[in-house]
Structure 1
Amino acid sequence: MYDYVIVGAGSAGCVLAARLSEDPDVKVCLIEAGPVDSSQNIHIPAACAQLFRTNLDWDYDTHVEPYADNRRIYLPRGRMLGGTSGMNGMVYIRGARERYDAWNQPGWSYDELLPYFKRSEDNERGADEYHGVGGPLSVSDNRSNNPMTTAFVEAALEAGYPANHDFNAAKEEGFGFYQVTQRDGRRCSSAVAYLHPSMARPNLTVETDMLVHRVLFENGRAVGVAASRLSEQFEIRATREVILSAGAYNTPQLLQLSGVGPAELLRALDIPVVLDQPMVGQNLIDHTHDFLIYTTSQPVSLLAAGQPEYVRQFMEEGRGPLTSNIPESGGFVASQAGLELPDLQFHAAPVMFADGGLGVPTAHAISFGADVIDPLSRGHIMIASADPTTKPRILHNFFAEESDMDAAVAGLRLTMEIANQKALKPYAEALHNPPESDSDKDLRAHARRYSETAYHAAGSCAMGMVVDPELKVMGLEGLRVVDASVMPTVFANPNGPTIAIAEKASDMILGLPLLPPQTVAVAH
Structure 2
Amino acid sequence: MDTFDVVVVGAGSAGAAVAGRLAGDGMRVLLLEAGGPDTDPDIRDPGGVFRLWGGPDDYNYFTAPQRHLGGRRLHWPRGKVLGGSSSLNGMIFVRGAAADFDGWGPGWSYAEVLPYFKRLEDFDRGADDYRGAGGPVRVISDYTPHPVNAAIVAAAVEQGIPFNPDCNGERADGAGFCQLTIKDGHRHSTATAYLGERPTLEIRTGARARRLLLRGRRCVGVEYTKDGTPHRVGAEHQVVVSAGTLESPRLLMLSGLGDPAALRQHDIPVVEKLPEVGRNLHDHALVPVIVAARRPVPPALPGLQAMHSQLFWRSRPGLPAPDVQPLFFHIPLYDGEMTGPADAFTLMAGIVRPESRGHLALTSADPDAPLHIDPAYLSAAADRACMRAAVELCRELVRADALKEWAGGELHPGDRDVSDHIARTLVTYHHQAGTCAMGSVVDHRLRVHGIEGLRVADVSIMPTVTSGNTNAPAIMIGERCADLVREDL
TM-score of the two chains, using structure 1 as the length reference? 0.90
Distance (Å, rounded) in 2 between the aligned partners of 1:406 and 1:385: 37
**Residues 376 and 403, structure 1, Cα contact 8 Å, conserved in 2:** yes
- 2:378 corresponds in structure 1 to 399
Q: Amino acid of the residue matched to residue 23 of structure 1?
A: D
Distance of aligned partners of 1:339 and 1:108 in 2 relative to their CA distance in 1, 3 Å threshold:
closer
Deviations 1:71-92 (A, max 9, x none): 0001000110000000111111
- 2:165 corresponds in structure 1 to 165
**Residues 36 and 80, structure 1, Cα contact 8 Å, conserved in 2:** yes
| Structure 1 residues without counterparts, runs of 5 or longer | 306-320, 514-524
SS at match of 2:312: strand
- 1:243 corresponds in structure 2 to 240
Whether 1:498 aligns to 2:478 is: no
Distance (Å, rounded) in 1 between the aligned partners of 2:409 and 2:46: 27
- 2:96 corresponds in structure 1 to 95
Q: 2:335 aligns with which of 339, 342, 355?
A: 355
Whether 1:155 aligns to 2:135 is: no
Distance (Å, rounded) in 1 between the aligned partners of 2:412 and 2:43: 30
Q: Amino acid of the residue matched to residue 333 of structure 2?
A: F
**Residues 144 and 322, structure 1, Cα contact 8 Å, conserved in 2:** no
SS at match of 1:234: strand
Q: Amino acid of the residue matched to residue 409 of structure 1?
A: R
Distance (Å, rounded) in 2 between the aligned partners of 1:218 and 1:362: 61
Q: 1:472 aligns with which of 439, 447, 452?
A: 447
**Residues 257 and 270, structure 2, Cα contact 8 Å, conserved in 1:** yes
Distance of aligned partners of 1:91 and 1:360 in 2 relative to their CA distance in 1, 3 Å threshold:
farther
SS at match of 1:157: helix
CA RMSD after TM alignment = 1.8
Q: Alpha-carbon deviation of 1:353?
A: 2.1
Whether 1:265 aligns to 2:262 is: yes
5 Å matches for 1:173-212?
173-195=173-195, 197=196, 200-212=197-209
Whether 1:325 aligns to 2:326 is: no
- 2:344 corresponds in structure 1 to 365
Q: Alpha-carbon deviation of 1:324?
A: 2.1
Q: Alpha-carbon deviation of 1:394?
A: 0.6
Q: Amino acid of the residue matched to residue 408 of structure 1?
A: M
Whether 1:285 aligns to 2:287 is: no
SS at match of 2:122: strand
Distance (Å, rounded) in 1 between the aligned partners of 2:344 and 2:142: 19
Q: Amino acid of the residue matched to residue 239 of structure 2?
A: V
- 1:516 corresponds in structure 2 to none
Q: Alpha-carbon deviation of 1:144?
A: 5.5
Q: Alpha-carbon deviation of 1:359?
A: 9.1
Whether 1:33 aligns to 2:34 is: yes
Distance (Å, rounded) in 1 between the aligned partners of 2:205 and 2:334: 32
Q: Alpha-carbon deviation of 1:446?
A: 1.3
Q: Amino acid of the residue matched to residue 102 of structure 1?
A: G
Q: Alpha-carbon deviation of 1:435?
A: 4.6
Distance (Å, rounded) in 1 between the aligned partners of 2:158 and 2:199: 57
Distance (Å, rounded) in 1 between the aligned partners of 2:304 and 2:296: 16
Q: Amino acid of the residue matched to residue 444 of structure 2?
A: P
Distance (Å, rounded) in 2 between the aligned partners of 1:177 and 1:291: 19
Whether 1:14 aligns to 2:16 is: yes
Distance of aligned partners of 1:339 and 1:270 in 2 relative to their CA distance in 1, 3 Å threshold:
closer
- 2:70 corresponds in structure 1 to 69
Q: Alpha-carbon deviation of 1:142?
A: 5.7
Whether 1:135 aligns to 2:135 is: yes
Distance of aligned partners of 1:72 and 1:132 in 2 relative to their CA distance in 1, 3 Å threshold:
same
Query: Which stretch has the larger CA shift, 144-153 or 9-18?
Result: 144-153
Q: Amino acid of the residue matched to residue 41 of structure 1?
A: D
Whether 1:411 aligns to 2:390 is: yes
SS at match of 2:107: coil
Q: Amino acid of the residue matched to residue 234 of structure 1?
A: H
Distance (Å, rounded) in 1 between the aligned partners of 2:294 and 2:414: 22
Q: Amino acid of the residue matched to residue 119 of structure 1?
A: R
| Structure 2 residues without counterparts, runs of 5 or longer | none
**Residues 98 and 110, structure 1, Cα contact 8 Å, conserved in 2:** yes
- 2:325 corresponds in structure 1 to 345
Q: Amino acid of the residue matched to residue 351 of structure 1?
A: I
Distance (Å, rounded) in 2 between the aligned partners of 1:337 and 1:241: 46
Query: Which stretch has the larger CA shift, 52-61 or 141-150?
Result: 141-150
5 Å matches for 1:473-488?
473-488=448-463
Q: Amino acid of the residue matched to residue 463 of structure 1?
A: M
Q: Amino acid of the residue matched to residue 434 of structure 1?
A: P
**Residues 89 and 326, structure 1, Cα contact 8 Å, conserved in 2:** no
Distance (Å, rounded) in 1 between the aligned partners of 2:184 and 2:44: 11
Q: Alpha-carbon deviation of 1:425?
A: 2.2
Distance (Å, rounded) in 1 between the aligned partners of 2:339 and 2:483: 44
Deviations 1:130-151 (A, max 9, x none): 0011000000026461110000
Q: Alpha-carbon deviation of 1:505?
A: 1.1
Q: Alpha-carbon deviation of 1:231?
A: 2.1
Whether 1:334 aligns to 2:314 is: yes
- 2:53 corresponds in structure 1 to 52
**Residues 16 and 503, structure 1, Cα contact 8 Å, conserved in 2:** yes
Distance (Å, rounded) in 1 between the aligned partners of 2:53 and 2:340: 15
SS at match of 1:412: helix
Distance (Å, rounded) in 2 between the aligned partners of 1:363 and 1:447: 22
Q: Amino acid of the residue matched to residue 478 of structure 1?
A: G
- 1:110 corresponds in structure 2 to 110
Instruction: Give the % identical residues.
Output: 41
Q: Alpha-carbon deviation of 1:426?
A: 2.8
Whether 1:252 aligns to 2:227 is: no
**Residues 85 and 495, structure 1, Cα contact 8 Å, conserved in 2:** yes
